[in-house]
Amino acid sequence: MAFLLNLTWLLPTLTVLIIMLLPRDRLALLRGVNLVSAVAVLALVIGLLIAYVVQGPDPAYATGAVPRLAFVSRFAWFPALGMEFFTGADAISLLMMLMAAVIAVCGVLVTWTLTDRAKEFFILMQVLLAGTFGCFISMDLLAFFLFNEITLIPTYLLIGIFGSGKKDAAAMKLNLMLFGGSALIIVGLCGLKVVGGSFDMAVLATSEAIAGNPSFQSWAFPCLFLGFAILGSLFPFHTWSPDGHSSAPTAISMFLAGVHMKLGGYGCLRAGLYLLPEGAEQWMWVFLILAAVSVVYGALIAMRHTDLKFINAYSSVSHVGLVTFAFAAMSLTGLRGGVLQMLSHGFVTALVFALIGMIYSRTGTRDITKMSGLMKRARFLGVAFVLAGFAVVAIPGTSSFVAELTIFVAGFADNPTPLRLICAVACVSAVVLTAIYVLRAVNQVVHGPGDPGQLAPMTWAERAPVIILLVCILGMGLLPGWLIAALDASLDPIIMNMGR
Amino acid sequence: MADLLSAAWVLPLLPLGASLLGLLVHRKAALCAGISIGANAIASVLAVLTVVAWLGADTPTVISTLDWFTVRGDVVLRVGSMLDAISVMMIAMVSVIALMVSIYSVGYMRDDPSPGRFQALLSLFVAAMLGLVLAPNLGQMFVAWELVGVTSYLLIGFWWHKPGAVSASKKAFVVTRFADAFFLVGLIVLALGAGSLDFAVLLAPASAEALAAQGGVFGCNLLTLGTGLVFVGAWGKSAMFPLHIWLPDAMEGPTPVSSIIHSATMVVAGVFLTARMFPLADAGGSLVLAEVTGAVTALFAAAVACVQRDIKRILAFSTLSQLGYMMFALGVASQAHPDGFTASMFHVFTHAWFKCLLFLGAGVVIHAVHSNDLDHMGGLRRKLPITWLACLAACLAISGIPPFSGFFSKDAILAAAWGAGHKGVFALGLVTGGLTAFYMFRMLILTFHGSYRGDAAQLEHAHEDKWMVAPIALLALLTVAAGWPLQSLFAHHMVPPGVEAGHAGHPAWLPWVAAGAGLAGLVLAWLRYGRTPRMSALAGWRKALFDQLGSNCAWRWLLNRVLIGTIAKVSRQCDEGAIDGSLRGVADGAQALGMTTRWLHNGLIARYLMVMVAAAVVTLVVLGGMP
């Protein structure tokens, strides 16, 4: 089973090699390999998740403050550095991987008709997937860091080569800012290694040396948390994300905003809150304020933009800000709400970016002031866009409602300080702002008296991802019970560490 | 029969199923109508049977629930049903009105390109409303509340190619969403304070005490704060002044939608929520909000209705005014004087029938003359005799003329206000009653009496479609019958939890005065419009004033000027200027640093030599200076 877990990143790596060997003019074959690989990873992740839910964690990881891992494997990698290749997964990482795998399949389908330099595109995309899955299963922080760095390379090329608009500048801005975040992270990691004596998350989580060293925590936590928060596009370090996500090609926007950005939240949770809870206690008020500002500010700017991709990108800043806000509550409800929001926003934003891509390829514009009456010519697209809008607004029945309700409850719970109360009220007010910009976009694009003219019909490769993502959003919104139970068990060690 | 009571959760599932099925086959109009009418008919029969079973059973409250998901510890979101006096009344009312409206829509939407979609969305609306009234906890209430909002968005914007409909649907959603944000916070405050969302726990006196003992902000305890915030949700949904601005615009939707929004769903949801929260709100003192907003809205909307020209807008403002009655009736009620509660619920019930009727009647008129403007009507009673008679009954009912149903409920409201000692509100209610009669008969006379003022060619095809007239006739019967026969039933059963049923004092002069006010309004309308059925156009400051009040200047100013035009604009400028600017500053700084150090490495041996010598000299001087 441990090998199967590693297959999630080995399979994309293998796919890279296969695609490299294939001739570039055999497009159908290239696409086929790409799709088969993505579907295989998805099947693998679903199987692993079922196995995890049925079996639970390995006995060695079932109690105490260690992560609730299963499918554990360890290889010595750089013994001199004390670095092991230590992989394993708990419910948090498996659910994140499920979301990533679903979005990967949808992304492959969305790029079905790509012909220009398709081989290179597929290679880079699979590298991105390999890096991302590697991140989610690495329980050695240095390996986690390395995989995270690996994802930045294909991101740069995918935006720079295949993007649109000011793609060069956007790609550079994205990479420079994320590298800046990485620099902060590596400082924190070195500190952890020096004080805790290891990069091993299970060792660090139970390390007395870290727990008994508040002065270390008070400088290491902001480094790690801020480094990852930049990847999670926290105000005021968010400006790379709207530029990057809007310049990227559709499938990459879906993956970057849906999955890659969540590596930030995931890192904040795993490396920040989990390992350095006292530092978190000390610094959280700063991140609370930044999160609340992100939420409101992102929504406000989304109201001003007229480019659909920018609207969704700023909406992502707003909705991912809720993740940090939820974490800042530092309670089980808050952490669960944050993870639920990461999952939910992944599906929702991927769906919105996919739909924007399909609209753009038909109408040739992303400017909402130049669009009207899409419903007249593209019923499926119009209905899907309205439903996606409802998901962004967090209508009950969609995944975002479950996540946002949990987050807001966490925000007001546990005798909030006046600061948290103000931030919570600000975040709730963003619910109204969201309704304004979403309905503005929906009414402009889908409704209205205009006629966009004859539009190309939807192909199956376009319908399939829309339907898959809608099923995920509604499924998570209607039946969140098992998800919450699984998450709570895996969040338990983090809560335990916070209470120590 | 007891099974029927605990299985009430089936009721919303019927229209929900019909809606999903209908959306799948939305191109087949007849099939969709059949599914919709069938589901609503079954729901109506079940609902009426439930009422009978509930009246016969000894258990006043029947709850059955299923866990949905855990939010936090004890705060679990459950779905299911709760039957007590108010929800039993509401399910019967909602499902029967839904049935009437779906039958009517067969005729009304016959020439529309997508009647199937309309029927399916209508069923969804009804399902959401049934889920709302059956909610056994505040969580399901909020969920259904939001779904009512979404479906109303879809229905108001049903003709999505009309710009007016599109902006009206957005406005309705955003304004109610604004209020819902308060509701959400209130819900969280109450749930965290009392440790549960379930009404069984939440509405118990122990919860009120526990909440009152916890301090909140601004010197309010959690009880006052939570119930007050929840009431703001009701404020928006029930379109109380000044959040009423979405309701008149919502007339852009098809008339059957207006009919159901104004009678049994959506706007009534706010009154229902306030009634549901009554024990808590009463203990927390936040009912005074309901009293003040209700009274202000009742009078204000009645005044605005007197000068409207659009038949549907008149009805819209009349709904606002009647909702004001219901709200202030709840506001004057208390544990000691529960009459207001009874009267409010009675008025919800009677109002539903005649308001539904009036809108359906207006739909027939609009179908006949292809206009909403009273100026293009007149003398229609010969062409539309059944509609005329039915509307006459409804106008008499809403004006509070005995023996029509509205008289009994309005009389009960005024008696409750008087009995509770709120004399000011009583007087206001009385004046509003007179105004109500005036503007309703103004509308009736201008529409049906006198001679036709529009284009004669339009009128040739005017007729009464049997699908449209049948529900109107049935509703006319209910308009007459829903009052007096049910009076004692309401007095007996419709009491807030924990209060003994009993009839409080009812001054003997009061019915006469109430009926007199209505009659006076009627006579005034007849004197003004009976002989010369023409409107004088408002002009000057009066027109401006009423346009501002009834319309949406403030809304546009707030949304477009303040929010989008200023706050959002500044945010974006800050994003592009300050934040991106400082980033560029960092990048430029790095570049400048590189530029300045570059002259060291320009490849000229002479420069390198010079630097070496200079460095050596500096080093020697520094070293030499050291001891």
| Interface size, chain A vs chain B, as Cβ–Cβ contacts under 8 Å | 122
Mean residue pLDDT across chain B = 85
Check if B590 contacts A (Cβ < 8 Å).
no
Q: How confident is the model at residue B590 (pLDDT cuts 50, 70, 90)?
A: confident
Q: Is the pLDDT of residue B553 over 80?
A: no
Nearest to B568 among A239, A300, A333 (CB): A300
Tell if the CB–CB gap between B559 and A421 is shorter than 8 Å: no
Distance from CA of A138 to the nearest CA of B (A): 30
Beta carbons within 8 Å of A423's beta carbon, 6+ residues apart: A288, A289, A291, A292, A325, A328, A411
Beta carbons within 8 Å of B44's beta carbon, 6+ residues apart: B92, B95, B96, B98, B99
Q: Is the pLDDT of residue A343 over 60?
A: yes
CA-only gyration radius of chain B, Å: 31
Q: Is the pLDDT of residue A14 over 90?
A: yes
Phi, psi (degrees; rounded to nearest 5) at B401: -95, 125
The neighbour count for residue B599, using CB atoms within 10 Å, is 10
Average pLDDT over residues A393-403: 93
pLDDT for the residue numbered B550: 53
Average pLDDT over residues A143-166: 90
Alpha-carbon dihedral of residues B51, B52, B56, B58, nearest 10 degrees? -20
Nearest to B72 among A173, A401, A410 (CB): A410
Q: Is the pLDDT of residue A332 over 80?
A: yes
**Bond from prior residue into A236 cis (ω within 30 degrees of 0):** yes
Task: Calculate the CA B3 to chain-centre distance.
Answer: 32
Task: Kindly list the distances between the CA atom of residue B610 and the CA atoms of B593, B594, B601, B621, in Å, as whole numbers in the listed order.
Answer: 21, 20, 12, 16
Lowest mean pLDDT among A322-336, B40-54, B512-526: B512-526
Tell if the CB–CB gap between B571 and A448 is shorter than 8 Å: no
Chain B residues within an 8 Å CB radius of A239: 575, 579-580, 583
Chain A residues within an 8 Å CB radius of B559: 436
pLDDT for the residue numbered A474: 94
Q: For residue B301, which of B327, B270, B269 has the smallest C-alpha distance?
A: B327
Chain A residues within an 8 Å CB radius of B67: 481
Tell if the CB–CB gap between A300 and B170 is shorter than 8 Å: no
CA angle A78, A80, A86 (to 5 degrees): 40
The residues in B 457-496 lying below 8 A from A, measured between CB atoms, are none
Tell if the CB–CB gap between B583 and A239 is shorter than 8 Å: yes
Task: Kindly list the distances between the CA atom of residue B33 and the CA atoms of B36, B59, B101, B160, B255, in Å, as whole numbers in the listed order.
Answer: 5, 37, 11, 21, 17
Sign of CA dihedral B459, B464, B468, B473: positive
Nearest CA in chain B to A448: B161
Average pLDDT over residues B29-50: 90
Chain A residues within an 8 Å CB radius of B160: 375, 446-448
- Tokens for A70, please give them: 């299963």
- Supply the DSSP string of B370-416, one letter for each residue: S--BGGG---TTTTSHHHHHHHHHHHHHHTT-TTSHHHHHHHHHHHH
Average pLDDT over residues B384-389: 86
Q: For residue A41, which of A159, A129, A167 has the smallest C-alpha distance?
A: A129
pLDDT for the residue numbered B535: 67
Q: How confident is the model at residue A125 (pLDDT cuts 50, 70, 90)?
A: very high
Lowest mean pLDDT among A311-315, B187-191, B482-486: B482-486
Q: How confident is the model at residue A299 (pLDDT cuts 50, 70, 90)?
A: very high
- Tokens for A213, please give them: 């060293």
**Bond from prior residue into B242 cis (ω within 30 degrees of 0):** yes
The half-sphere exposure of A468 on its side-chain side, counting CA atoms within 13 A, is 24
A267-300 residues labelled b (16+ CB within 10 A) or e (exposed): bbbbbbbbbbbbbbbebbeebbbbbbbbbbbbbb
Q: Is B64 helix (H, G, I), strand (E, B) or coil?
A: strand
Q: E-assigned strands of B20-84?
A: 62-72, 75-83
Mutate to test the interface with A, among B148, B150, B161, B232 (most CBs of A within 10 A): B161
Nearest to A484 among B70, B189, B583 (CB): B70
Nearest to A304 among B72, B75, B572 (CB): B572
CA angle B457, B463, B464 (to 5 degrees): 155
Sign of CA dihedral B207, B208, B211, B212: negative
Distance from CA of B81 to the nearest CA of A (A): 18
Query: SS3 breakdown of chain A: % helix, strand, coil, rounded to 5?
Result: 80, 5, 20
Distance from CA of B162 to the nearest CA of A (A): 6
- Distance (Å, rounded) from C-alpha A109 to C-alpha A462? 7
- Distance (Å, rounded) from C-alpha A44 to C-alpha B576? 43
Chain B residues within an 8 Å CB radius of A307: none
Higher pLDDT, A465 or B572: A465
Mutate to test the interface with B, among A174, A237, A436 (most CBs of B within 10 A): A436
Beta carbons within 8 Å of B537's beta carbon, 6+ residues apart: B543
Helix axes A118-137, A27-55, angle to 10 degrees: 10
Tell if the CB–CB gap between B173 and A439 is shorter than 8 Å: yes
Check if B200 contacts A (Cβ < 8 Å).
no
- Distance (Å, rounded) from C-alpha B319 to C-alpha B304? 12
Q: For residue A338, which of A58, A7, A96 has the smallest C-alpha distance?
A: A96
Check if B579 contacts A (Cβ < 8 Å).
yes
Q: For residue B174, which of B622, B552, B592 has the smallest C-alpha distance?
A: B552
Average pLDDT over residues A116-126: 91
Average pLDDT over residues B188-196: 88
Tell if the CB–CB gap between A447 and B166 is shorter than 8 Å: yes
- Distance (Å, rounded) from C-alpha B462 to C-alpha B464? 7
Distance from CA of A417 to the nearest CA of B (A): 11
The number of residues in chain A equals 500
Check if B143 contacts A (Cβ < 8 Å).
yes
Nearest to A409 among B160, B181, B188 (CB): B188
Burial class (CB in 10 A: 0-12, 13-18, 19+), B431: middle
Average pLDDT over residues B150-173: 89
Distance from CA of A29 to the nearest CA of B (A): 36
Q: What is the pLDDT of residues A239-283, one digit of tens each?
A: 899 889 989 999 999 999 999 999 999 999 998 899 998 888 889
Mean residue pLDDT across chain A = 90
Q: Is the pLDDT of residue B141 over 80?
A: yes
Give me the residues paired with residue A243 across strands: none
Chain A residues within an 8 Å CB radius of B173: 435, 439
Burial class (CB in 10 A: 0-12, 13-18, 19+), B423: exposed
Nearest CA in chain B to A235: B579
Phi, psi (degrees; rounded to nearest 5) at B66: -135, 135
pLDDT for the residue numbered A386: 94
Sequence letter at residue B192: L
Q: What is the pLDDT of residues A427-446, one digit of tens each?
A: 999 999 999 999 999 998 98
- Distance (Å, rounded) from C-alpha A246 to C-alpha A233? 14
Q: What is the pLDDT of residues B423-469, one digit of tens each?
A: 888 889 889 988 899 889 888 888 888 777 777 777 777 777 888 88
pLDDT for the residue numbered A295: 94
pLDDT for the residue numbered B131: 93
Tell if the CB–CB gap between A412 and B160 is shorter than 8 Å: no
Alpha-carbon dihedral of residues B370, B372, B374, B378, nearest 10 degrees? 30
Task: Kindly list the distances between the CA atom of residue A116 and the CA atoms of A107, A112, A120, A281, in Å, as whole numbers in the listed order.
Answer: 16, 11, 9, 51
Distance from CA of B572 to the nearest CA of A (A): 5
pLDDT for the residue numbered B38: 92
pLDDT for the residue numbered B504: 60
Provide the terminal-to-terminal Cα distance of chain A, rounded to the nearest Å: 33
- Distance (Å, rounded) from C-alpha B48 to C-alpha B40? 12
For residue B254, the 8-state DSSP code is -
- Distance (Å, rounded) from C-alpha B321 to C-alpha B267? 12
For residue B135, the 8-state DSSP code is -
- Distance (Å, rounded) from C-alpha A459 to C-alpha A469? 16
What's the predicted TM-score (pTM) here? 0.91
Provide the terminal-to-terminal Cα distance of chain B, rounded to the nearest Å: 108
Average pLDDT over residues B512-525: 85
Phi, psi (degrees; rounded to nearest 5) at B221: -85, 170
Check if B181 contacts A (Cβ < 8 Å).
yes
Q: Is the pLDDT of residue B1 over 60?
A: no
- Distance (Å, rounded) from C-alpha B187 to C-alpha B21? 33
Sequence letter at residue B621: V
Q: E-assigned strands of A68-204?
A: 70-78, 83-89
Distance from CA of B581 to the nearest CA of A (A): 10
Q: How confident is the model at residue A40 (pLDDT cuts 50, 70, 90)?
A: very high
Tell if the CB–CB gap between A239 and B185 is shorter than 8 Å: no
- Tokens for B603, please give them: 């490849």
Average pLDDT over residues A152-158: 92
pLDDT for the residue numbered B221: 84
Phi-psi region of A371 (alpha: psi -120 to 50; beta: other; left: phi over 0): beta
The residues in B 555-574 lying below 8 A from A, measured between CB atoms, are 559, 563-564, 567-569, 571-572
Tell if the CB–CB gap between A447 and B71 is shorter than 8 Å: no
Phi, psi (degrees; rounded to nearest 5) at A248: -70, 150
Chain A residues within an 8 Å CB radius of B583: 173, 177, 239
Average pLDDT over residues B206-231: 83
Q: Is B61 helix (H, G, I), strand (E, B) or coil?
A: coil
Distance from CA of A304 to the nearest CA of B (A): 6
Q: Is the pLDDT of residue B545 over 70?
A: no
pLDDT for the residue numbered B551: 58
Q: What is the pLDDT of residues A49-69, one digit of tens each?
A: 999 999 888 888 888 888 898
Average pLDDT over residues B29-48: 90
Nearest to B146 among A300, A395, A432 (CB): A395
Mutate to test the interface with A, among B27, B217, B249, B575 (most CBs of A within 10 A): B575
Higher pLDDT, B220 or A11: A11
Which of B145-154, B204-213, B275-284 ranks highest by mean pLDDT? B145-154
